[in-house]
Amino acid sequence: MVFILLGPPGAGKGTQGSRLAAEMGVPKISTGDMFRELAAQGTELGLKAKGYWSAGQLVPDDIVIGLVRERLAMPDCDKGLLLDGFPRTVPQADALGSLLADLGRDLTGVLDFALNDEELVNRLSGRRTCPKCTATYHVVAMPPRQAGICDACGGELIQRADDQPESIRKRLQEYAAKTEPLLSYYRERGKLHTVDAAPKPDAIYAEVRRAVGLDGAGK
Ligand code: AP5
């Protein structure tokens, strides 16, 4: 099974994707996490990408596609995968189609997490993340047991550089201009399933399970 998690910044792709990947026993491939890790390691590619994402801009297609090409060829993808935050542009979607075809695989479906801008801004400004294990919290909606400390690994939580008001505004503009066209791209191909991302996480997850066929009902 190959699923794409699509949707604007802060809609809950990472939160739902982590849970789904654990239940399905497949990797969640987040291009955002990959860039942050490469930047933390101080690699040339990571630092170049950081110049874009910290300002709320998309990283250029050729960089992202090269990274995903290498990742999809890894053996842990054999039994299935979730793509979180890729593709984000039409050229990336075209490239993904070719990459999957080269690997003899098909795209199973696309889950689009839909949420209004006001709630997106609220979620992004209250988000705290663990730089050690990438677990995500929200200071009000999903707080850790101990303020500022990751429940999962005890790491110190931080606020992402791109969760500042100016970057959030830019990310929402980038989403509307470059990523939203993917909704009709995948709708026309019969792959799109829209998930209301406004309810509580457990209610959204029940819908996600239905959408991927984990409750036995199919898509
Ligand atoms: P990336 O890390 O992918 O960021 P994003 O898409 O902007 O998505 P987010 O991680 O911000 O949000 P999310 O939808 O995962 O929400 P989350 O679950 O955390 O990418 C970062 C940057 O890297 C991009 O801006 C770009 O520059 C670059 N990049 C990455 N991929 C790229 C690509 N393909 N092409 C080009 N550039 C690329 O939830 C958000 C908050 O809400 C959390 O605090 C969470 O606790 C809370 N929350 C979640 N669910 C709920 C709920 N139901 N109710 C209340 N609160 C909730």
High-pLDDT (> 70) share of the chain, %: 99
pLDDT value at 4 more than 70: yes
Show the tokens assigned to 76: 């842990």
Q: Is the CB of 55 under 6 A from ligand 1?
A: no
Q: Is the CB of 203 under 6 A from ligand 1?
A: no
For range 78-83, the mean pLDDT: 95
Own/partner long-range contacts of 21-25 (Cβ < 8 Å, ≥24 apart): 21/82, 23/209, 23/214, 24/80, 24/82, 24/212, 24/214, 25/79
Categorize the per-residue pLDDT at 219 as very low, low, confident or very high, splitting at 50, 70 and 90: very low
Is the link from the previous residue into 8 a cis peptide, with omega within 30 of 0? no
Q: Is the CB of 59 under 6 A from ligand 1?
A: yes
Catalytic residues: 13, 88, 127, 160, 171
What is d(CA 173, CA 68) in angstroms, rounded to the nearest whole number? 24
Interval between CA 211 and ligand 1 midpoint (Å) = 20
CB atoms within 10 A of CB 213: 13
Helix then strand then coil, in percent of the chain rounded to 5, is: 50, 15, 35
Interval between CA 12 and ligand 1 midpoint (Å) = 6
Over residues 30-80, the pLDDT tens digits come to: 999 999 999 999 999 999 999 999 999 999 999 999 999 999 999 999 999
Amino acid (1-letter code) at residue 158? I
Q: At what angle do helices 31-40 and 61-72 cross, to 10 degrees?
A: 100
Place of tokens 């509580």: 200
Q: Is the CB of 121 under 6 A from ligand 1?
A: no
Over residues 141-178, the pLDDT tens digits come to: 999 999 999 999 999 999 998 999 999 999 999 999 99
What is d(CA 68, CA 199) in angstroms, rounded to the nearest whole number? 31
